[in-house]
Amino acid sequence: MFTCKHTYHVTHTYCGADGTWPASAAMETTRDWHLAHDHVLHEYRIQGRCIMGKDINKRLSLPADIRLPEGYLEKFAMNSPPFDKPMSRRLRRASLSEIGFGKLETYIKLDKLGEGTYATVFKGRSKLTDNLVALKEIRLEHEEGAPCTAIREVSLLKDLKHANIVTLHDIIHTDKCLTLVFEYLVSDYLKQYMDDCGSIMSVHNVKIFLFQLLRGLAYCHRRKVLHRDLKPQNLLINEKGELKLADFGLARAKSVPTKTYSNEVVTLWYRPPDVLLGSTEYSTPIDMWGVGCIFYEMITGRPLFPGSTVEDELHLIFRILGTPTEETWPGITTSEEFKTYNFPQYKAEPLVNHAPRIDNDGHDLLSMLLQFEAKKRVSAEDALRHSYFRSLGEQVQTLADTASIFSVKGVQLQRDPGKRSSVYPESCKFPRLLQKRKEGTF
């Protein structure tokens, strides 16, 4: 219960027993009203404006289930500019801070989930929504301050809202720590999921995971964001089978297609040959090569080019795809880096020989992803429209950015033939994750 005293025109809309909102009574009042918070929806009408909780959620991009502090709706209605006018950055920051964002005390730290060189990840709970969150604490003990990877992750993720990208809810900055508050996913990494399948993943499930990967990536690329570190260990799959891009620590926002970047990016096995040969001028195709490698790995259960050094990686690539020539990669023979290796003249092998489970459409798409010349690689947008995905239906092509692929009727995961983990169409739940829930280990 709470008490609110006001002299504004207020509408109290009471929730009926069936959970609907059947009646509303508007009244002018100066009396104290004692109202059950869970059964009332407030509207503040000030100078002809009607302000509701959902308006604030939309105005500030808040979660639908957020609990606004007592009295906040009234204060926001008094201070906010008209909704047809932009809200200043300063007022927006102040509003979010007053709700509880950007404050450590808003979150309850629970179990430790993992630790790396710069960061430790904890499971936590938000006092604003009562939902579980993942708290990524990045230590600022070094003289140079926040690691550049953390700065990149924050600056890029805060503007990315997509069903196939992990959501960054909040950022908390103190003298010793930068805490990133992510959505909490009861999840496996794609790498773990493939391992649990015993290298025999359903080709149908491969198609659904690949489509989701391309959806998230196309969204990033439309916003001129390169991930630059795609690998199965950076792709999360929750218990519904939703795949989400994570770990944007190496990601970059590109201002122009040929901007120069470092070539020391992307885990070796998923690094394209142009970057391996020292190219620092690249664009979205850097991610598309990685998609091709992940596609192959899901189909076969093994990495395509598991090189131990740059030279070994290039050797593996050329042994399967053929040593490049001026015809297959214009300009390659004049590359000093390429000439220093003196590679044997390998002939290209059909990819289907290495991945016999892939159909003709899948083979065509894989070939379009694994092109030597960056500009010849298929884009994420075009890959989504490839005939390989025709069996998923037309509706998956028109989904809203925040809509799950599983919101489309008939789209669901099949049971995987692997030994240790299977996905059942009835629930689309991962048994290993459900077992964790039963055991209380997450």
pLDDT in tens, the chain (442 residues): 333 433 334 333 334 434 343 444 333 333 333 333 443 444 444 444 554 555 545 544 555 555 555 554 455 555 555 555 555 555 555 554 554 456 777 888 999 988 876 778 899 988 877 788 888 888 776 555 555 656 655 666 677 889 999 888 888 888 788 888 888 887 778 988 888 887 678 999 999 999 999 999 999 999 888 888 899 988 999 889 999 998 765 444 443 333 334 444 447 899 999 999 988 877 899 999 999 999 999 999 999 999 999 999 999 999 999 999 999 999 999 998 999 999 999 999 999 899 999 999 999 999 999 999 999 999 999 999 999 999 999 999 999 999 999 999 999 999 887 645 444 444 444 545 444 444 444 3
Cα three-residue angle 1-183-414, rounded to 5 degrees: 115
Question: Which tokens sit at 3?
Answer: 């008490």
What is the location of CATH 1.10.510.10 in the chain? 187-252+264-407
Q: Is 312 an active-site residue?
A: no
What is the location of CATH 3.30.200.20 in the chain? 104-183
Q: Which of 55, 170, 229, 287 is catalytic?
A: 229
Could you give the CA distance from residue 423 to residue 11 in angstroms, rounded to a whole number? 48
Q: Say which CATH superfamily domain 104-183 falls into.
A: Phosphorylase Kinase; domain 1 (3.30.200.20)
- φ/ψ region of 102 (left if φ > 0, alpha if ψ in -120 to 50, else beta) reads left
Q: Say which CATH superfamily domain 187-252+264-407 falls into.
A: Transferase(Phosphotransferase) domain 1 (1.10.510.10)
Is 58 annotated in a binding site? The answer is: no
**How crowded is the C-beta side of 228, counted as CA atoms within 13 Å?**
24
Is the separation of the CB atoms in 28 and 94 below 8 Å? no
- DSSP class of residue 319 equals H
Is the separation of the CB atoms in 116 and 150 below 8 Å? no
pTM listed for this prediction: 0.70
